[in-house]
Amino acid sequence: MGHKLTPFITGETIRERIDVLGREIVQSYENNEEPLVCICVLKGAFLFFSDLIRRVDRPMEVDFVRLASYGSATSRSEDVIFSKDLEVPIEGKDVLVIEDIVDTGHSMDFLLHVLKRRNPKSLKICALIDKHERRETGVQVDFAGFNLSEGFIVGYGLDYAERYRELDGIYELSTDAGK
């Protein structure tokens, strides 16, 4: 069985949207002189994170977290654990979590609860892809690159079994049963 990749969002369109997101984020925090703590959720958000923080023209600190779901390999798990925690303290600071995709919201809900216990001044989410129609939790994305309702997508950090992250654009992945 092979995979078919259908172009969905071009690299150029992503870069243009990131420019706009960068300006929106700067405007949102314009009355605060303190550094913004930008947190990258690994692995999927690393390309988006790298491009986005270069468009956010303001002082910042950066850090990384990695979440892991555990449970049956054949079903989506709502059980989430940290496999890499923050190193930067966030108490009393404005925090922006940067994620590749927020779908059902379970992982992000877990992360937000953990971060809120650390008493940040504010806590917002920026996601490259917001699948808000699939949300099963109350998680709200504050800055969304693109709103999608369906389709399995890869590229620009998003993967399927650790493949396709390196693609410049975003592609819809489908199974090509004929191969």
Domain ranges of the chain: 12-71+78-150
pLDDT of amino acid 130: 96
Residues of the chain with pLDDT under 70: 1, 69-78, 176-179
pTM above 0.85, yes or no: yes
pLDDT of amino acid 78: 60
Give, as one character, the DSSP assignment of residue 158.
Answer: B
- What is the side-by-side strand order in the sheet with 170-176? 2-9, 170-176, 153-154
Neighbours of 107 (CB within 10 A): 21
Report, as residue numbers or ranges, the catalytic residues: 103
Report, in this order, helix, strand and coil percent for the chain, each rounded to 5: 20, 35, 40
Measured torsion, CA atoms of residues 40, 43, 47, 52, in degrees rounded to the nearest 10: -20
pLDDT of amino acid 117: 97
Determine the CATH number of domain 12-71+78-150. Answer: 3.40.50.2020
Centroid of chain to Cα 78 = 18
